[in-house]
Amino acid sequence: MLQPQTQTAAYWTTNLKVTRADVEALFAHFLETEQPLTTQAVALRFIELRLAAELDQLRKQLANSTLFQPAQHYEIGQDLIFPALNFASGKVVAQREGRNPEYGTFSVIEVAFPDQKRREFAAALRVPHALNDTTHDLNALLNSVQPSAEAIFAQYGEAIIEALEARLVNEEDAVFMGGFWFVRTLLATASVAHLHLAEAVLDLREGGPASAEDLLPDLDFAPELPLPLRAFSLNVALSQDDRFDNVGADGDVRWFLRRLEPADVTQIPPRLEYQPLPYDEHLLTPELRDLEAELADEFSDIPTPETPPDEALIRLIYPHRRMGTLPMNAYVEAMLPPATEAQRLLITLIDGQTNEPFSAWVMREGRYLCGLNDFYRRHKLPIGTHITLRATENPSQFVLDFKAHRPRTEYIRLAIPNTGRLRFENFKRSIGAEYDELMILGAEDIDGVDEVWTATRNRRRSLGDILSDLLPELARLMPQHTVHAKTLYSAVNIMRRCPPAPIFATLLARSEFESVGGGYWRMANSSQA
């Protein structure tokens, strides 16, 4: 049987090796078309080339073979190829006269196949038969039994891409940029003048962002080449110059001047830095683990969803409210577009209350989005506000929203700086957004709170000491003199950036803290009022 190897799973997976001939054939395609290709397009072209090579090999193998046709006469001992049986081969071992008045005079041949099976076929048949026509066109016949490149990719694309990328990254002349591949020696060369002009154009745009296609009209760069190749060449040149920063998602390269990027983009604000604390994770009860998952802190060990959610809920804590940022927790991260080359990603947020768009920066290293100060201030959102991030049809555009209501006066806990520590008092404030009642806090003396944060950091106060200060201070405002773990998480983060798990583990590990059930805690030596 001449079964095409390209129809077997092993050919495209375990046995797949990208050869020098494959690379040269792909490079020849780039030379001919002058078009950069996405990784998927490269894979499809690779599959097409492999299928064509096998087709040519099969054609050569069958060139000197006898293809079975019912109209022909065959002798005992003759070897035949049966295209209708997936090009199975067999030997004629017997022959007899056929008996069917409708067909006239014909013969019946018995054919033995390598699997020991024997089958009979009509031969010297004078009536029309489909196999007498189709087998004359060998190319059409071979094409009919070969799968398409798209079908192969749909089934084995992941393994094929992995093999291609592993080979191409080691090819000196292969260049990858913005989700596209091309040949380095075929690129147009950008001069120093071109790069200076690009910087000037971005300067006029307040730093950017701008795509290569946006910049090209002002650069007079390689006008004789096709636009995709000009844009790709410019992208490669800009990527090698430290003045320019790619802030676009995969397949959407966009440039920004590094020197005009906001401070929170070039350096992680200390307020948002978490210095990992050792703790015994086995102490955490199922109830507290559920609470940790509910809070979905960006530094919690929560797996990223395999399927991106359409919406993510964020509970606003003080560090992000203070810095005008949004945490990039596991759910937000899953929603963001992939950006394998961009360290910083510029996206568009749409104010869900006003429908006004504004730019926000994604800092993957620091696990936050920045640029939300005006949004928080405009809507006077308190700590503990429920904020939602919703996906749109544009993968780089999201709706930022909250549940608003008519402002009403409510009591909230207000943090008051006091000699390097925090006191809390209940004050009436006007609130116009839905919030978590256990996490809502206020802080009006921002400079004073900053001093407490600085003093806590400089003195390297332990998490246990911070909790020993905060728990009785918050408990005195409650009728039962107890404080919920979510409240403690919210309050601790005014003084020190910390995810829930270390806080919860410290409450369990230290004898001065006592659980009273339902997520509430009190000092062990206190009495219930």
Per-residue pLDDT tens over the stretch 85-98? 777 788 999 999 98
* CATH fold for the domain made of 283-405: At1g16640 B3 domain (2.40.330)
User: CA-CA distances (angstroms) from residue 173 to 13, 40, 170, 176, 185?
Assistant: 26, 19, 9, 10, 7
Alpha helices (H) in 312-462, listed in sequence order: 318-323, 330-335, 373-379, 446-458
The whole-angstrom distance between residue 403's C-alpha and the CA centroid of its chain comes to: 29
Closest CA to 412 of 339, 499, 318, 323: 318
What is the predicted pLDDT for the residue at 416? 93
The residues that bridge with 441 in the sheet, in sequence order, are: 383, 413
pLDDT band, residue 333 (cuts 50/70/90): very high
What is the predicted pLDDT for the residue at 162? 93
What is the predicted pLDDT for the residue at 250? 85
| Average pLDDT for 147-169 | 92
405-429: per-residue pLDDT in tens?
998 888 999 999 988 889 999 998 9
The yes-or-no verdict on residue 144 having pLDDT over 80 is no
User: CA-CA distances (angstroms) from residue 344 to 275, 280, 447?
Assistant: 22, 34, 30
Which are the contacts of 105, defined by CB distance < 8 A and separation ≥ 6? 97, 98, 124, 126
d(CA 432, CA 442): 14
pLDDT band, residue 82 (cuts 50/70/90): confident
pLDDT above 70 covers what percent of the chain?
95
What is the predicted pLDDT for the residue at 7? 79
Q: Please state whether the predicted TM-score (pTM) of the whole model is above 0.85.
A: no
The yes-or-no verdict on residue 529 having pLDDT over 50 is no
pLDDT band, residue 264 (cuts 50/70/90): confident
Output 104 or 506, whichever has higher pLDDT. 506
| Cβ atoms 470, 456 nearer than 8 A | no
**In 3-state terms, what secondary structure has residue 326?**
strand
| Average pLDDT for 208-231 | 93
pLDDT band, residue 135 (cuts 50/70/90): very low
What is the predicted pLDDT for the residue at 64? 65
What is the predicted pLDDT for the residue at 83? 74
What is the predicted pLDDT for the residue at 84? 74
User: Which stretch of 55-69, 254-268, 449-463 has the lowest confidence by average pLDDT?
Assistant: 55-69
Average per-residue pLDDT in the chain? 90
Architecture per CATH, domain 69-127, reads as: Roll (2.30)
Alpha helices (H) in 220-271, listed in sequence order: 227-239, 263-266
What is the predicted pLDDT for the residue at 199? 96
User: Which stretch of 115-124, 286-295, 482-491 has the lowest confidence by average pLDDT?
Assistant: 115-124
The reply to whether CATH 1.10.10 applies to domain 187-261 is: yes
| Average pLDDT for 321-344 | 91
Q: Both tokens of residue 243?
A: 């003045």
What is the predicted pLDDT for the residue at 526? 61
pLDDT above 90 covers what percent of the chain?
70
What is the predicted pLDDT for the residue at 392? 96
| Cβ atoms 244, 255 nearer than 8 A | yes
| Average pLDDT for 229-245 | 95
d(CA 2, CA 61): 9
What is the predicted pLDDT for the residue at 139? 61
Q: Both tokens of residue 216?
A: 């090209």
What is the predicted pLDDT for the residue at 147? 78
What is the predicted pLDDT for the residue at 114? 83
| Average pLDDT for 152-166 | 93
174-203: per-residue pLDDT in tens?
999 988 999 999 999 999 999 999 999 999
| Cβ atoms 125, 70 nearer than 8 A | yes
Classify strands 520-523 and 513-517 as parallel, antiparallel or unpaired: antiparallel
Alpha helices (H) in 395-445, listed in sequence order: none
